Structure 1
Amino acid sequence: MKSNTSVLLSVAVAILGFIVISVSGINIPGQYLFVIGALATGLAIQFIPTTKSTNTSEEANTADFTTATLYVGNLPYRANEMAIRTLFSEHGKVISVRLMKDKHTGKRRGFGFVEMPEEDAKNAIAALNEYEFQDRSLKVREANERAPRNDDNSEN
């Protein structure tokens, strides 16, 4: 917020300085005008009250509930995030959609995850598990927590 204000204030000071100099006929080099404008802007910004950003109703709503992550399997490879979001949105609020891709080929792997509020997730599971979507029978269930990954190859 302050950066936008400082840019606007700098422009205003520059325009005002140009008008004052043009009208008065005073001959002041540009670099001095720049320094004067920068100092004036810096001082003025110190006195501009900062407004605390308020949450939009959507931001406030997302913080007021617990979420559940759903595993969605047997997805058609041609399905994209928007198609899955649209399908799940019919059963509640969708917070995020992540479709998994092979890291070497970049092709979709046929499964993904949808994050929803807990109540909406229960509705989506009931409605969409075994649902025919683009000629595939979806598998929808609550996702399991990912096990911690052990990157070192030693067996302990």
Structure 2
Amino acid sequence: MQKSLLIALIVTVIGAVVIHQFGSALPAYAAFILGAVIVATVLSIMPNSASPSSDAKYVGPTKTLYVGNLPYRVHENEVKELFAKYGPVNSVRLVRDRKTGRRKGFGFVEMSDTGADKALGKLNDYSFQERTLKVREARSQESSSDREQ
């Protein structure tokens, strides 16, 4: 999403300069607005290839993976894109501190069973945004509460 926004802004600025150069009667701000309208029209017509199946959830056997040592500023979409290379991702939940609202540096990814196995093998000890990820199969809360007793 951020990449397409940056591309749209660059195309808008270039378009504004070109329109202003060839249509000298048009003020620069009007050329910029015209460029923005053209880019918005083109982007709304183009199919969104970045997330063709983002609305459809995977139906089938799934696993939940624990992902540790995440960068604190990472967003759910960035983690989803990383794991989606290995299979369909149903959800990404990054854990936040209840008091401050800041991310704690770990989260959970629910994805297809086979995709989770592939991601586990490829992304454990993987360098992501200058951090080395720790990926494990998530344990259920029941089994962790059994160990505490």
TM-score, structure 2 length as denominator? 0.57
Q: Which runs of 4+ in 1 moved over 3 A?
A: none
Q: How much has 1:62 moved relative to structure 2?
A: 2.9
User: What RMSD, in angstroms, separates the aligned Cα atoms of the two structures?
Assistant: 2.2
Distance in 1 (alpha carbons) for counterparts of 2:121 and 2:143: 29
Q: How much has 1:147 moved relative to structure 2?
A: 2.8
1:84 maps to amino acid: V
1:62 maps to 58
- Give aligned pairs, total: 92
Unaligned stretches of 5+ residues in structure 1: 1-57, 151-155
Distance in 2 (alpha carbons) for counterparts of 1:72 and 1:100: 10
Alignment partner of 1:88 is 2:83: yes
TM-score, structure 1 length as denominator? 0.55
Distance in 1 (alpha carbons) for counterparts of 2:65 and 2:144: 21
Alignment partner of 1:97 is 2:87: no
Question: What percentage of residue pairs aligned between the two structures are identical?
Answer: 49
Q: Deviations over 1:89-135 (max 9, x none)?
A: 11111110000000100000000000001110000001100000011
Say which one has the larger Rg. Answer: 1
Pick from 130, 142, 149 the counterpart of residue 147 of structure 1: 142
